[in-house]
Amino acid sequence: MSFKLSKNTKVYIAGCGGMLGEAVYEAFKEKCIVKATDINLTEPWLEYADVRNYTDIKESILEFEADLIINLAALTDLEYCEKNQEETWLTNALGPENIGLIANELDIPLVYISTAGIVDGLQDVYNDFDQPNPLSIYAKAKYHGELFTQFHVNKFYVFRAGWMMGAGPSKDKKFINKIYKQIKSGKKELFVVDDKLGTPTYTKSFAKGIMHVVQSGMYGVYNQVCNGDCSRYDVAKEFINLLGLKETIKVTKVNSDYFKTEYFAPRPYSEKLTNLKLNSRGLNVMPDWKEALEDYAKVYIKDFNN
């Protein structure tokens, strides 16, 4: 059943305080009535709700009378997840179960965000139909959330994202910001792995993609990543070029062993995704990753020059 977003549509966004939350909030608040919640109230537009607590999250969604739920809530630091397994299961697996049950009870559609990280990396590229085999606790719990959504939620969209980039220096917890922090601190040589392959995923485009697909009524699981693929090294090189620092900063290739103490959670060699379903249904709004990075780098260029 297709679903038209209008200024009267009520969209509930859980876990909206993070890097994807910013873009999803900005996109949906332009068109709909939004209630954004999180356990970390970093913005004045956020209200408190914990996806682990069925009664509280249900009350928060019911009192808003939501027409659509988007669940972004997760623990996303892989090492933290390895060290805090129970908390990870409660947040990344039980949380989606709680929200799924509530969506069913209200008979409204639910959007769940899964991850490219659920694959084992033994294959080069993964389409929407390839079999996941998660390695880390983060990925195992996320995959459980995905499976529950797929098999127990009546009206669902699962979007699998790749290497997320978005929200800039204050909120980006991932690779681009980790590279940027090193540059900002004055490092002249960066060590970056070239044995991890994936697909960058720009939060702004990803949010637009969610908006587009939820209006199609075509429920199901979708890979949704930027077009093209690369290694972490390729991304770092491109980012440094965009900052105009190609001549000043040396990027040295290393393999993952170099970071084995710091990044001890298991990660797939390749988590490259292709948007096979979005492409074949004419629903792919994702740009090429280099184009996306060029746009994203603008906030860093501004920050760097201040």
Ligand X SMILES: NC(=O)c1ccc[n+]([C@@H]2O[C@H](COP(=O)([O-])OP(=O)(O)OC[C@H]3O[C@@H](n4cnc5c(N)ncnc54)[C@H](OP(=O)(O)O)[C@@H]3O)[C@@H](O)[C@H]2O)c1
Total residues interacting with ligand X, rule: CB under 6 A: 28
* Look-up of token digits 């204050």: 170
Residue 20 as a binder of ligand X (CB under 6 A): the answer is yes
Please give the Cα distance from 28 to 44 (Å, whole number).
17
The smaller minimum CB distance to ligand X, of residues 159 and 300, is found at 159
The smaller minimum CB distance to ligand X, of residues 86 and 189, is found at 86
Residue 210 as a binder of ligand X (CB under 6 A): the answer is no
Residue 111 as a binder of ligand X (CB under 6 A): the answer is no
Amino acid at 93: A
The 32-71 contact track toward ligand X, x by CB under 6 A, reads ------xxx---------xxx-------------------
Enter the tokens of residue 16. Answer: 């909206």
Distance of CA 159 to the CA centre of its chain: 9
The smaller minimum CB distance to ligand X, of residues 95 and 287, is found at 95
Residue 73 as a binder of ligand X (CB under 6 A): the answer is yes
DSSP code per residue over 234-288: HHHHHHHHHTT-TTT-EEEEE-GGGGTTTS-S---SB-EE--HHHHHTT-----B
Please give the Cα distance from 20 to 22 (Å, whole number).
5
The smaller minimum CB distance to ligand X, of residues 12 and 300, is found at 12
Residues 151-180 that bind ligand X (CB under 6 A): 161, 163-164, 173-174
Which residue number places its CB atom closest to ligand X? 18
Please give the Cα distance from 132 to 119 (Å, whole number).
4
The 3-state DSSP class for residue 161 equals strand
Output the smallest distance, CB 77 to ligand X, in A: 7
The residues binding ligand X (CB under 6 A) are 14-15, 17-21, 38-40, 50-52, 72-76, 91, 95, 113, 115, 142, 161, 163-164, 173-174
